[in-house]
A = this chain, B = another copy of it.
Amino acid sequence: MKKREQQRQQTRATILSAAEHIYASNGFVQSSTQLIAKEAGVAHGTVFLHFQSQEKLILAVINVLGTDITTRIHESAKQSHSLADVLRTHLTAIEIHESIYSHLIMDMPQLPKEAQQTVIGIQSIIAHHFDQVLNQLKKEKQMKDLPISFIFNTWIGLIHYYLTNCGLFAPHGSVLAIYKDELILNFLKLLEVDKS
């Protein structure tokens, strides 16, 4: 590759990575392109050479995030046969990107629709695995008869509640690192699923 093209790609990657860092600590809405440029060590204008607009930059970051999370879930899901496995797969994939993912779900209402689509995409995958596992459990009468969608929403709601209130649950660190096991265990108990 030509040296110029190489440097161009490098700069783009630097900006993307800087943006990811800034968004992870300040959230998407409260981060300025100026700050991202500074963090990346480039001029403010350079950001707009690589990304049409702030919105496109945000979408690019979210897209990278979404792709990574869904890939991880997909990989891990091959060995997920119990509900416990599915829950753990979900939380582990999110935990890796906890801070930026938390900001994503908090800022969602103010982000473009395409961003929301990414979140929906992630949840669809989890919902799919949920569906499979829970239908099996229902068939085996190992679980009470509740709408799967309700159970799913309860789970997602619970996780998002912990994530959006990380300041309350884990002021200085990862919420999931602390509560992951406890959450999975208690949720299984709630559904009365045998842990085996």
A interface vs B, CB < 8 Å? Answer: 27, 29-30, 106, 108-110, 144, 146-147, 150-151, 153-154, 156-162, 164, 167, 182, 186-187, 189-192
Contacts and interface: CB of A to CB of B under 8 A. Distances in A.
A77 B151 CA distance: 28
Nearest to A154: B158
How many monomers of this chain does the complex have?
2
A192 B192 CA distance: 10
Given A109-B27, A109-B106, A110-B29, A153 B158 contact: yes
Given A146-B189, A189-B144, A192-B144, A162 B157 contact: yes
Secondary structure at the A interface, as helix, strand, loop or mixed, is: helix
A161 B156 contact: yes
B146 A186 contact: yes
Given A154-B187, A157-B158, 13 more contacts: A27-B109, A29-B29, A29-B110, A109-B167, A144-B189, A144-B190, A146-B190, A150-B186, A153-B161, A154-B154, A154-B157, A156-B161, A160-B161
Contacts of A158: 153-154, 157-158
A107 to B, nearest CB: 9
A48 to B, nearest CB: 24
Contacts of A189: 144, 146
A42 to B, nearest CB: 28
Given A153-B162, A192-B144, A110 B30 contact: yes
